[in-house]
Structure 1
Amino acid sequence: MERDFENESQDVIAIKRPSSQERTNQIWTVASGKGGVGKTFVTSSLAICLSKLGHSVVIVDLDLSGANVHTAFGMSPASNSIRHFFEGSKTLSELVIPTQVPRVSYIQGFWDAWTPTDLSVEQVRHLAPEMKKLNADYVIVDLGAGALESHLEMLKLADEKILLSSPEPTSIEKTYRFIESFVCHSLKDHSIPEAYDHMIQQLRNHRHGFSEKNFSFRTYLRENSGIQPDFFDALMTKPLRLIVNSCRSQANTELGHAMKSVCYKYYDFKVDFLGSIDYDNAVWQSIRNREPVLIAQPFTPLAGQFLTTCKQLIDPKELRAVI
């Protein structure tokens, strides 16, 4: 029997929608240091929750090595993909494809590239303002794994920078490395080449134990000319948002608080811990059935965790919860 998702959405939440003049398109980017941590699952789930809150969403699949947002929604690959935008044969709005979820659409990623594909920083800088023109309240970008320059640039340009980790040690380590790469990439535009190279060498020395124990990014920048530390102040007002996925224990659930503390102590800026997402067998079962788990099972604790996460990201003044 077909699920009446529209009515379910209305039962879950009622919202006070801003007028068309007040609304602005927001870009959320979901990134990770390591692959296999559930970026597409989290991206699609955030989009579904936003639709339940009455918002329209377009997901942009920018996983260059394995675009599969279409699979998460039980759809076949589309003939037109974001490749056509970069080739100049289609506008971004012409590539928007509706899903079975009301108010959720997506743009097909690279699925027909049989040779390695990469994006330049310049291409990302061209893409971001075009995403702002899309007819949606939110645009969520599903990035591939790793600290590629194009990933770091897309994260830098986003209104919300969501960093995903799992509780596994390999993922935690790569999350810290990703944060370091993001900071360095963002500072590059604010530094002369000599100062930037000097900073990178100093960081290498610290990593190998050749520097003082209490080394701090911020302290180093303040004490050396050529780099403006204003970027750190910006990160305090629009911080990286951390989500820990596939938590199986209380220790896993609390891991985000520890990672937040480490970032504040070592990097000297705030990382916002949005929350943890529990491991749930229903997730892999829904993937096998090609149906999003939040549609198949919309009233589970897992769904509640994503709803809470979305409400933390959205201005709470917009919402009047009736759960």
Structure 2
Amino acid sequence: MDFENDNLETLVPRKSGDSSSPAKVWVVASGKGGVGKTFVSSSLGITLSKLGHSVVVVDLDLSGANIHTTLGVNPSHMNIRHFFEGVKTLQEIVIPTQFANLSYVQGFWDSWTPIDFNSVQIANLIPEMKSLRADYVIVDLGAGALEPHLDLFKSADEKFLVTSPEPTSIEKTYRFIEAYVCHSLKQNATPDAYGQMISTLRSHRQRTLAKPFSFRSYLKEQEGFQYDFFETMSSNPVRLIVNSARSQTNMDLGHSIKSVCNKYYDLGLDYVAGIEFDNAVWQSVKGREHVLVAQPFTALAGQFLATCKQLIDPEELRAVV
């Protein structure tokens, strides 16, 4: 399926509610690649669209844009590069899919040199995403805690952090969480106070502190910080998703990570979903038919449905998958 028409105004989804209200931005991130982040992003988008909401999925994975593959769409010449170069507005590069209410913005596809974006570009991108003619914008970030990733993650209405049960993924998940906290605190700290905190964290990593490190306890004992960060985190927490769970132990991993973050960082996470491993996922990608379409009544589909229903206002629901 290929959409090469530059004039897409009549094809993109309209808002299902008040057209004057900004789109809600959901950002999907991970500390490590290969954990199924793009699968989660596309599944959230498809599920929300089945619930009657208009959705745009934005591919910001600079290392390997492939949202189009998971949605069964051929890559388009019209992509996010045109926005960053100032050639097109974000709305002008929204591309429809075969799914009702679901469109996407193609990631970098036609570049043969290393790609990067900075915090200034992200600051310009955020209001553009909120002004898209959609109820929800799902952003598929690249892996890792790069500063632009953290800027966008911090600004999101919903923040999803995807991990898998593998030890390397779990470790990178903790590193992403630490980087996110530090990045957020840096904006409300003096340079000296921030530098001292980083030094203390290194000592914590080297197991040379006298007691376990807690961000909240540390900040209360130091000058040069503002303390509203943890209140913000409580009202808009990181939503943890454990993908490719093969056992109940894997499913329980999210509760363990949540407990560790609370104990050592005094940081609350919301373990929102454990997604079961299913061979049909990679088989559906190979066949270019999303598994939620090929098998819409499986436990996997039910897990994404429950996740979306948990996070959106139930009064807004107008359809059932």
TM value normalised by structure 2: 0.93
- The aligned residue for residue 199 of structure 1 is 197
**Retained in 1: the 8 A contact 2:28–2:159?**
yes
- The aligned residue for residue 97 of structure 2 is 99
- Shift of residue 318 of structure 1? 2.4
Identify which of 228, 250, 253 aligns with 1:252. 250
Identify which of 196, 207, 228 aligns with 1:209. 207
Q: 1:183-198 maps to which residues of 2 (within 5 A)?
A: 183-198=181-196
Tell me the distance in 2 between the aligned counterparts of 1:214 and 1:280.
38
Letter in 2 for 1:91: T
Residue 30 (str. 1) matches residue 39 (str. 2): no
Tell me the distance in 2 between the aligned counterparts of 1:71 and 1:21.
30
Question: 1:96-130: per-residue Cα shift (whole Å, max 9, x none)?
Answer: 00011101000010112211111111111110011
Q: Structure 1 residues 50, 121: CA separation in 2 closer, same or farther (over 3 Å shift)?
A: same
- Shift of residue 313 of structure 1? 1.2
Letter in 1 for 2:49: S
- The aligned residue for residue 239 of structure 1 is 237
Identify which of 117, 120, 141 aligns with 1:119. 117
Gaps of 5+ in 1: 1-16
- Which SS does the other structure have where 1:142 is aligned? strand
Moved over 4 A (4+): 320-323
- Shift of residue 321 of structure 1? 7.3
- Shift of residue 300 of structure 1? 0.7
**Retained in 2: the 8 A contact 1:18–1:318?**
no
- Shift of residue 290 of structure 1? 0.7
Letter in 2 for 1:317: E
- Which SS does the other structure have where 1:115 is aligned? coil
Letter in 2 for 1:72: T
Residue 90 (str. 1) matches residue 80 (str. 2): no
- Shift of residue 215 of structure 1? 2.0
Q: Structure 1 residues 262, 321: CA separation in 2 closer, same or farther (over 3 Å shift)?
A: farther
Tell me the distance in 2 between the aligned counterparts of 1:123 and 1:179.
23
Q: 1:47-58 maps to which residues of 2 (within 5 A)?
A: 47-58=45-56
Q: Structure 1 residues 128, 22: CA separation in 2 closer, same or farther (over 3 Å shift)?
A: closer
% identity of equivalent residues: 64
- Shift of residue 73 of structure 1? 1.3
- Shift of residue 182 of structure 1? 0.4
**Retained in 1: the 8 A contact 2:185–2:229?**
yes
Tell me the distance in 1 between the aligned counterparts of 2:232 and 2:178.
16
- The aligned residue for residue 151 of structure 1 is 149
Question: 1:193-248: per-residue Cα shift (whole Å, max 9, x none)?
Answer: 11111110110011102212232111111111111121111001110000000000
Q: Structure 1 residues 280, 167: CA separation in 2 closer, same or farther (over 3 Å shift)?
A: same
- The aligned residue for residue 276 of structure 1 is 274
Q: Structure 1 residues 320, 136: CA separation in 2 closer, same or farther (over 3 Å shift)?
A: closer
Q: Structure 1 residues 21, 112: CA separation in 2 closer, same or farther (over 3 Å shift)?
A: closer
When the two chains are superposed, the root-mean-square deviation of aligned CA atoms in Å is 1.5
Tell me the distance in 2 between the aligned counterparts of 1:292 and 1:188.
40
Q: Structure 1 residues 300, 109: CA separation in 2 closer, same or farther (over 3 Å shift)?
A: same
- Which SS does the other structure have where 2:243 is aligned? strand
Gaps of 5+ in 2: 1-14
- The aligned residue for residue 288 of structure 2 is 290
Tell me the distance in 1 between the aligned counterparts of 2:186 and 2:111.
31
Q: Structure 1 residues 322, 139: CA separation in 2 closer, same or farther (over 3 Å shift)?
A: closer
- Shift of residue 20 of structure 1? 1.5
- Which SS does the other structure have where 1:174 is aligned? helix
**Retained in 1: the 8 A contact 2:242–2:273?**
yes
- The aligned residue for residue 179 of structure 1 is 177
- Which SS does the other structure have where 2:142 is aligned? strand
Q: Structure 1 residues 322, 307: CA separation in 2 closer, same or farther (over 3 Å shift)?
A: closer
Q: How many residues align?
A: 307
- Which SS does the other structure have where 1:145 is aligned? coil
Tell me the distance in 1 between the aligned counterparts of 2:254 and 2:213.
23
